Structures are given as structure tokens and as C-alpha cells.
Amino acid sequence: MGVEPEYIDASPSAAYLMESIRDFGYTIETAIADLVDNSISAEASNIEINLDNDENQNPMLSIEDDGIGMNKVELLQAMKLCSKDRHQARSKNDLGRFGMGLKTASLSQCRQLTVETNMDNKSTSMTWDLDDVLKRDDWKVKNNIIETRKPGTKVIWKKIDRANLEIDTPSTNATIKNIRDHLGLVFHRYIDTKNDEKKNIKLKFNGIDIDPFNPFNEKNFATIKHEPFEHQYQDSTIRIQSYILPHKTKVNLEEWEKYEGKGGYTKNQGFYVYREGRLIINGTWFGLLKKTEYTKFCRVKIDITNEKDTDWKIDIKKSNASPPKEIREMLDNYLSKLEKAGVKVYTRKPVSIYENNHLDLWKKMSKDSQSYYAINKNNPIIKKFINNSKDNLDLLKLIENTLPYQEIFRLMSDGKEMMITWEDNEDESIKLIKKYILDLKESNIEKLIIVGLVQKFLQNSVLSLTTEQIIEML
């Protein structure tokens, strides 16, 4: 009777495993972003993505860079499933994670992955073809013989079966736009030549520059930028800065639609976590705050290093993360202050030089834990109106009781329409305001209070008057 071995070979089937890694959940946008990471890690200055047809008139996609390239030994290591120790220290510009992205990202979209690279004027190329692997069921990668190519690396996808990339179709054009938008957001701090970080990487798709998209609208003077602060987490530093984007009345329609993003402002509020300047996850409060209309303009930039990936639970696709307990507690405290600031922008509470609520035309009332709005009968103009006739009082009650609350809420909630006041032509509106001011003056209301009341009445108005213009009317 033979001696039982202590260890028995349980090597996985190459064919089955290579098919399995195709289903890690990549989209074509996140897959291409993963390959751009590799180019940035290779110190590339120029990265070009091209979609074309191959020799058989089937779609072929390539990502080419002018980075440092690889020699044959390094390329062979890169073609292995796990080519790096996830726990080893990484350089600051290394955007990699598990040493799997080249394979998992590429094979999530295609069945044939080829890499061509040049280092020190020596070119080498290797291919994973899933159809060949299925036949052989081994871990042997194809070694290609190629002519000397220019420095850098080129990744080529063929047999693309997970994305419809037929050239010049509406579907493909829409996909290309989604890719451009995604890369413009994820890498905006790398490709924006006007920002202070000066990473200056040129990223193109089919020869056209990909435009950076800064989700914080920092160039608009109406954007509220809070002072950044740093939090020390173990031996790494986390940098946090919050922004409150402008109210719809502060931007034109084009700018409003640009910064609302897919899904609108409510969906895109939240934390934007950057790992070494590369966006990992955005539009989430990590369960610390409920997404509401009142906080929809709030966006918080969090900068982390690549040293604490495990603590932050950075996934293989680099499209998800979750902060560790200590950071969650810190962020929870931070959000309580930010929420109040966001509500002020949403409601556009006017900055009045004098507050005197008993003179407002409307006042909030409460009864049996329910709220409603009533016309303020103590306002001198309303008093004058009521004293003229009892019918006028009945008319005011009718107006109060027929306010379309639900319709107003619906219109303001969907973000597509803006409630406005003083929709008359400017001359007519000015005439009404002057009459209103005169009535207030006749009631012996102080000038300073009148200015504050007019400012408040003009919120959400198509009519804009400066403090100086209001004072002139007095």
C-alpha cells in the first residue's frame, strides 16, 4: 500500500478559469479606464484609444501609449493572472491594484488580447486567445514575432463579443460618447492642462482629445468652496474638500445640464473618492446621509493614497470603495455641517440686510403636526387690501386654500423646471415694486427693512435688482 501524498495538485482548469474571470462586472467604460491606469503607471504622456476594423472587418480596439514599455520577462509576468503582490509598496503614480487589470478588464470585453511593447529598442508581443485556451486547457501564452515597434505599449482587443462596436452605428456612437464621458470624469485631474496639479497627460479617442470634466464646477464664482482639511489615518493622509454647486438661478441652461450629469443633481451628490488623483467612486454618501433635494448641490472631494487599498476595500475594477470605520465616523461629523450649508443653497435663502418676518407676505403655519402657508394679515399692504372690502378677505382665503402644494413640489423635485416670480415684463414689474415700496413707506416702515423685504421678494425672480437700485427707488 503506497503512502498518501501530503499535497495533491489542485491546479484550476485554464479554460474554465479564463472564462470565469470575464464576469467580474466590468463595463466597457471601466475596462478601458483600467488599461489607461496601466499606461499612466508606465509614465506615459500620450495615450491613444482607437476603434477600427481588423483585417476581417470585425471591430478592433487598441490602447497605445508612449510609456517606458516592458522587456520580454516583464511582459510575460504582466500576462500572468496575478502579476503583482497586492500588499507590496507602490510608487505614487502606480494606479494598479491586484496585477490583474490587463487580463480581467480586456477579457471582460473580448476573446483575444494581444500586447505589443518596446523597451530599449527591443520589441516583444504576446497573445491570450480564449478559443485557443479552450482547446489546449493550459497556461501557455502565445509568443508573437513582430518587427521593431516604437517605444511604449499597445494593447489590442480582437474578437470583441461583450460590446457592440460595429463601426459608425448609432449604438456604437452612443457607446463612444459614454466612454469619452467616463474617461473625462475619471481622469480629469490628469488630462486638465489648466488645473494646478499639472499632470499633463494627453488622452485621445480616435484622434480627438478627451475633454476633462471637473464635477465640482470650480470655475464658477457662485460655487461655494469650503477650505480643505487633512485627516491623518494611520501613516497616510486623507484630504477632504467640499463644494456646493450653484443654484439653477446662478447658471445658464447649458451649464446647469452639464454639471447635473447622468441622473441629475440628486443622484450625483455625495463623495467623490480619488486614489492618487484618479476617481474611484462618486455620487454616494456611503450610507451616512440620505440623498435629498436639499443636499443635491453638495459634492465632497476625498483624496486618498494607494497605500490603504485594503482598508478602503478598493475592488478589482477600481470602481468601488468603502471607508474604514474611523474615517466613516469622521465623515459623519463633517456631513452634519455640510448638510445645513447645502440646504441654504437649495432654498436660496436670501442674504437680507434686515430680517423682519412679521412683514413677509406669506407665513408658515402649523396645526396638528401639519404645515401650511397663509397670507400674512399683519403686512401693511394686506391690511390695506382687506380694509377696502370684506370680499377681499374672502379672496385671500380662497388663494390660501387652493395653493397647488403637490404640483409645486413635483416641479421643483425633478430639477427640470425652475419656479420663478415677477414674470411680467421688466417695466411692469418695476412699476409694481415701486408701488409696493411706496405702500411700505406710507406705513412708516424703515428704509433698511424695506430694502431687505424687496430682496426677499425677488428671490427666484427673472428680475434682478441690486441693493443700490432698490435704495434709489426709496
Average pLDDT on 108-120 reads 97
Average pLDDT on 353-364 reads 64
Per-residue confidence (pLDDT) for residue 303, from 0 to 100 = 96
User: What are the boundaries of each domain within the chain?
Assistant: 14-209, 224-347, 357-473
Per-residue confidence (pLDDT) for residue 343, from 0 to 100 = 64
Q: Are strands 278-284 and 298-304 parallel, antiparallel or unpaired?
A: unpaired
Is pLDDT of 184 > 70? yes
Q: What's the distance, CA 427 to chain centroid?
A: 42
- pLDDT grade for 355, boundaries at 50, 70 and 90: very low
Per-residue confidence (pLDDT) for residue 54, from 0 to 100 = 93
Give the tens place of pLDDT for each residue, 274-311: 999 999 999 999 999 999 888 899 999 999 998 888 89
CATH pick for 14-209 out of 3.30.565.10, 1.10.10.10, 3.40.50.300, 3.40.50.150 = 3.30.565.10
Least confident of 80-89, 242-251, 320-329, 380-389: 80-89
Per-residue confidence (pLDDT) for residue 427, from 0 to 100 = 76
Question: What does the alpha-carbon distance between residue 178 and residue 157 come to, in Å, rounded to a whole number?
Answer: 19
Evaluate whether the domain defined by 224-347 bears CATH number 1.10.357.
no
Per-residue confidence (pLDDT) for residue 350, from 0 to 100 = 43
Q: What is the CA radius of gyration of the chain?
A: 30
pTM of the model: 0.74
Within 8 A by CB and 6+ apart from 17, the residues are 81
Per-residue confidence (pLDDT) for residue 27, from 0 to 100 = 96
Q: Which residue has the cell 454639471?
A: 259
- Cβ 107 vs Cβ 21: under 8 Å: yes
Q: What's the distance, CA 302 to chain centroid?
A: 12
Per-residue confidence (pLDDT) for residue 265, from 0 to 100 = 94
Arithmetic mean of pLDDT over the chain: 86
Least confident of 27-36, 133-142, 454-463: 454-463
Is pLDDT of 328 > 90? yes
Per-residue confidence (pLDDT) for residue 13, from 0 to 100 = 94
Handedness of CA 372, 377, 380, 383 (dihedral sign): positive
- pLDDT grade for 352, boundaries at 50, 70 and 90: very low
Give the tens place of pLDDT for each residue, 77-95: 999 987 555 555 555 555 6
